[in-house]
Structure 1
Amino acid sequence: MQPIMSKSEAAALVTAARIRRGLTWTRIAEEIDAPVVWTTAALLGQHPLSREQAQSVCTLLELDEAVAEGLMLQPTRGTDPAVMSDPTIYRFAEALSVYGPALKELIHEEFGDGIMSAINFKVDFARRPAPEGDRVVITFDGKFLDYRW
């Protein structure tokens, strides 16, 4: 019996197949009727796909059942420290290091003592045209969880 393919191996095969077939992450998300940011994160190994989702992706990308099995595994979430040094990803960390304390203060002022959930969470991505150069718009939408004693 073969071991189940790791999520990272499955992600590498999905990425290669997507590029070789000229498909966008948006097209794949449409195939499984899921948000594009969630779909991309899932296919990069951060979320498990349902059997139906994994099979649909693998059919679209002409990948075999071994890849589908890997896509359905529970992930170990997080990012390799080497990936964190990528300029795009680092800028997110930089933005949170600058604005995180202010956002925390504003959350507490508006909602009280608690946090924004990253489990019951949605994130959206959009491009907004602007005369000085297009803007990247990222929206975090997390449920407020109050601290209870």
Structure 2
Amino acid sequence: MKRADVTEKILTAKRLKELTWEEIAKKIGGASKIIVTAACMGQMKMTKEQATKAAKLFGLGKEETLLLQEVPYRGSLPQVPPTDPLIYRFYELVQVYGTTWKELIQEEFGDGIMSAIDFDMTMERQPDQKGDRVKIAMSGKFLSYKTY
């Protein structure tokens, strides 16, 4: 069995039970809606307690429950560049603004990177007369490159 098979089973159960990610995150607990969703999508691992709750919620077996607790292969996309329009827009943001973000971060902090491990993200809907907006805020620890 592959981790992608578990994700498909979770998505099927979510659909059949008509659950939202908010409801799922509350039932599984132990992390934000973003982290729980990422774990269900195969991009983060769950604790034993979370995996047990997820297994009960989604009707998963022992092997599937254990797979939820394994360190995942992160960052996998079906293809690059992605063809899904919503995911592609994020890819496009990096293509257009990536060098700008790099310059501004390194001017402010120095030579290093923003961590995607020591990282927090929030997402919210912002009402707007011209159409609601998506607000995503990312916060990652700055890690300086070291000279040896």
Give the TM-score taking structure 1 as reference length.
0.90
Q: Secondary structure at the match of 1:92?
A: helix
Deviation of 1:32 (Å): 2.5
Deviation of 1:65 (Å): 2.7
Match of 2:103 in 1: 105
Q: Which stretch of structure 1 is more off in the superposition, 13-22 or 114-123?
A: 114-123
Match of 2:24 in 1: 28
1:51 aligns with 2:48: yes
Alignment of 1:1-149 (within 5 A): 5-33=1-29, 34-78=31-75, 79-81=77-79, 84-149=82-147
Deviation of 1:36 (Å): 1.2
Provide the aligned length of Structure 1 versus Structure 2: 145
Deviation of 1:82 (Å): 6.3
Give the TM-score taking structure 2 as reference length.
0.90
Structure number with greater CO (CA < 8 Å, separation at least 6) is 1
Deviation of 1:83 (Å): 7.8
The one-letter amino acid of 1:87's match is: P
- Does the Cα contact within 8 Å between 1:48 and 1:75 map onto a contact in 2? yes
The one-letter amino acid of 1:50's match is: T
C-alpha distance in structure 1 between counterparts of 2:135 and 2:108, whole Å: 23
Deviation of 1:62 (Å): 3.1
Q: Which stretch of structure 1 is more off in the superposition, 65-74 or 51-60?
A: 65-74
Q: CA RMSD in A?
A: 1.5
- Does the Cα contact within 8 Å between 2:81 and 2:91 map onto a contact in 1? no
The one-letter amino acid of 1:65's match is: K
- Does the Cα contact within 8 Å between 1:7 and 1:70 map onto a contact in 2? yes
The one-letter amino acid of 2:45's match is: P
Identity within the alignment, %: 42
C-alpha distance in structure 2 between counterparts of 1:141 and 1:80, whole Å: 26
The one-letter amino acid of 1:99's match is: Y
Gaps of 5+ in 1: none
